[in-house]
Structure 1
Amino acid sequence: MYLVHARLRTIPPAHVPDDLRETARAGLRARDRVEHLAVHPQSAEHFTLGFFLLSDSLEEAERHAESVCRRLLGARALPPARLLDVGVPLMPMAVRELRSG
């Protein structure tokens, strides 16, 4: 399972709606292989979708998350927005060193 973040910015005059979490999750399909979807609004115009999805590789997970995002945008399960980037969030080395003891 991989965690992939998709960062988006709404297209004015659209804003991040209060019910974004529910509408985004309602747009998912079983074949999307998304185990969990987290929604993180950063401002009235920016938000991040955190996809926990089943995949065979990191690259496949990133491509799949992008595909799901584009489908959700096309189906209007998300507000009108521009997809800024999609990728696995990286953990800083200092945090990894602390965790490894």
Structure 2
Amino acid sequence: MYLVHARLRTVPPAEVPCDLRETARAGLSPGDRVEHLAVHPQSTEHFTLGFYLLSDSLEDAERHAESVCRRLLAARSLPAARLLDVGVPLMPMPLLERRTA
């Protein structure tokens, strides 16, 4: 399982809606292989979707998360937005060092 973040910015005048978590989750299907979807609003215009995906590789997980985002945008399960980037979040070195000590 991989955690992949997708960062998006709404297209004005759209803002991040308060029910974004529910509408985004409702747009998922079992074939998406999304075990969990977290929604992190950063501002009235920016938000991040955190996908926990079942996938065979990191690259496949990133590609799959991007395709799910694009489908959710097309289906209007998300507000009108532009996909900024998709990728696995990096863990800061001090945190990695504590985990391996």
With normalisation by structure 2, the TM-score equals 0.99
RMSD: 0.4
C-alpha deviation, 1:94, in angstroms: 1.3
Deviations along 1:49-71, one digit per CA (max 9) or x if unpaired, are 00001000000000000000000
Question: Is the counterpart of residue 89 in structure 1 residue 89 in structure 2?
Answer: yes
Structure 1 runs (4+) deviating above 3 angstroms are none
Question: Is the counterpart of residue 57 in structure 1 residue 70 in structure 2?
Answer: no
1 CA distance for matches of 2:29 and 2:100?
37
2 CA distance for matches of 1:84 and 1:39?
15
C-alpha deviation, 1:92, in angstroms: 1.3
1 CA distance for matches of 2:18 and 2:92?
31
Give % identity: 82
With normalisation by structure 1, the TM-score equals 0.99
Count of residue pairs the alignment pairs up: 101
Q: Any gaps of 5 or more consecutive residues in structure 1?
A: none
